[in-house]
Every structure is written in structure tokens, then in C-alpha cells.
Structure 1
């Protein structure tokens, strides 16, 4: 399999390339964002290992541009940042996985192999269902081209429903994903936020599937 490593720190890039080659991969290295973007566009790689902080263009911009161009090559992002919002940003821009430096090469290899076992799946920079468009990177939601202001948790509930569409999402799943506490006693908070969204987007946009959960209408 062919891998592209986009990393500007020469020692890190060399260590990654040698380690991956020892595992049987064919590896190319690009030292900056623009070069990495061009290589990922046209190189026919099976996966990309992409640093965030790059000369010329950030890794976030590289992966977002690829996704906007309908290029679904699997991307594993590397960064020295370790905040949960940095990780969320990488995934929202369209990355498939994320590792924080310093990391274990054994862990990187395992994550990379797991990523390669999955079929490349579309991870669009913007989600679209019916008249709704949601851009995770800019935290912007539009209905028929008009922006709809949402609170952070309203946005997260809608994003969860849009990513699952057309499947039904249970209250427990929403509670676990957004509040991190799947406590049955708190399930009413999900109903509250679904109510907020219905008032802003239209009641018809979110369907209640009795005894199961919620589904976003097409």
C-alpha cells in the first residue's frame, strides 16, 4: 500500500517513513501544505498521515480542501495540540482519525491499519439534508440559504442527526454523545433541545419515532 506523509519536521518525517517502510508500506514524504495537497490530489495514495502545523497551508486546510473536492482518501492527522476542541476541529474538517504528539509508533500503526481496513467513506466538509446545510468547521447552519443561529448544543444535536440521516437516533445516543451522561433521569434534556431546534428549523424537520428516538426529515 502507498502512503503519503506530510510533515515539515525532517527528523519526524524520516522516522515515520523508515518505520512505515519497515512495515511494508511504500511511503512518499511532502514537507509542506501545498505540496501535500497536490500529492494527495493526484498521487493515488491509500492513506495520508498529515501534520496540522505545516508551512504554506495548515493540515486543516489540506484535508478540508480534499473533502470539498470529493476526495475521500483516509487521513490520519498528527498534531502537537492536545485540546479536545483541536481534535474535534480535525475531525470536523474531514479527517478520519487523530493522534497527538508525542505518540507511540505502535499506536499510530494500529490506528493506520484500522483506518485502512475500512472502506473510504465520504466525510464532507459540509453536511446537507433537504433544505439544511451544516458546516462543522465554521459552526454555521443554513436553511434554504438563510443562516439559522444555533447555540452550541443545538448545533451538536443537529449535527448528530444529520450525520446519522436517514437513520433514527435514540435519546440515549444523543445524551451520551453531547452531554456525556446517558442517565435516563436526564433524558428530558434531549426533548428540550429537540424542541428548540423545531422552533428554529420548523417542526416538520425533526420526526419523532415513538419508542425509538428522532429522525431528520429529508
Structure 2
């Protein structure tokens, strides 16, 4: 997802006017963890497709303005800032982020002249690590984890009957069969497994999934249907695992 910037002048002023501003202590990163990735001019692109499968979400921005504003509302785990970012001075951006939030900034080392010097200056001003651009998914994951970010570090694998969910590996399996899920689908299964054997009301489930969609009951019902089909594709005998309790909601069965 590429997000167009908003008011460049106003947001640019915010990037510089951080002296004396109160520091925002953000809550624990939302799960799956969200990484804001500002695209580089000299090394464009980001590994959005493969990154999702590791339990992280990546949100791309064409310049620094959108990322700067989103950092206050998106509860990101980290921000990747290229040394050749557009519309905002790179070092000013680093200083602004270090002064106004606890979100770690990863320096995206672009391919332009003086990129290395800028990267080291950024580390001295509060950036947490350096990532060479363009990068592969595993390189970006390593850079995020180098900042101390882990997915649900205290979470243990969940098991209900033959259904197993591992939050650390972002993996769901039925017996020996792996079920490939999107972050929204994974979160749905996680919510139901944590509640099992309780029936989870459809409104409650919709609210838990609202970080990924419009939070509507209709969208939640569609998602449940999609997950059930994926269960049955991975293990044809698993149709009983995700049960619909008519008029109430859904639950994961262990039998």
C-alpha cells in the first residue's frame, strides 16, 4: 500500500519544530507489527508481498510526510527512513522522530552520493540501525528485530485439538498440514483459539479485527468463510474445526 502525502509544508514544519515538544510514549506495537517504509529515490521498492508472510505488515509511503503523520496514529513497530527521502530533510526527520516518539527508526542506506556519511550521522542523532537498500524481506526482518522488536514475545503456541497456532513463527497448521493465512485471517484464528471453547460473538470478533478492515459484521462473516475454506483445503477432514453457532458467533472446536 503506497500512501500519498498530505500537506507537505505543514508537515515539514512539524519535522523541524520538535524542540521542547512532549515525547509520545506509544503503546506496544499492534499485532501483526506494522512497519512504515518510506521509499528511496535511488533504490525504489520494498518487499511488501513476501514480508507479510512473516507476521509483519508493511505500509509504504512515497515520501516522509505521510509516514511522519502516521507515526502518531498507526502504532508502528518501526520506520524505515531512506537517506534520500523526499520533501523532508533526512537528518531533521531523524531528530524529530527521536525527540517526539519511541518508535525506532531504521536508516535505509540508499545508493546516492554521501549516503553512508548521512547514515552514520543519523545513528548519532537517534536512529537505531542501518539497512542497505534495496532489501529483501529477510533483511528487513533482521533490521526490525535488531531494534528489539519481537512479535508477541511472551506468547506461546496455542493448540486446540489438531489445530496449532504459533504466534512467533506466524504459522497455523492442522496436524502436519500448514494453513497459509493473511494477517487478518491469522488474527481471526488467534482470537478464536484464545477464547476456545467459548463462543465469540460476531460483533466482538468484528471489533477485534477492526484494525485491518472496516470492523463490520459482514466483513467478518466473509473472513470466517474464507478461513474455513482454507482449513478444508489444507486438511479436508477439518470442516468441524471452525463452528458457526447460529445467532451468536463462532468458536474453535477441539473434537
Relative to the length of structure 1, the TM-score reads: 0.46
**Relative contact order (alpha carbons < 8 A, sep ≥ 6): 1 or 2 greater?**
2
- Structure 2 length as normaliser, TM-score? 0.40
If you compute each CA radius of gyration, which structure gives the higher value, 1 or 2? 2
Larger fraction in helix? 1
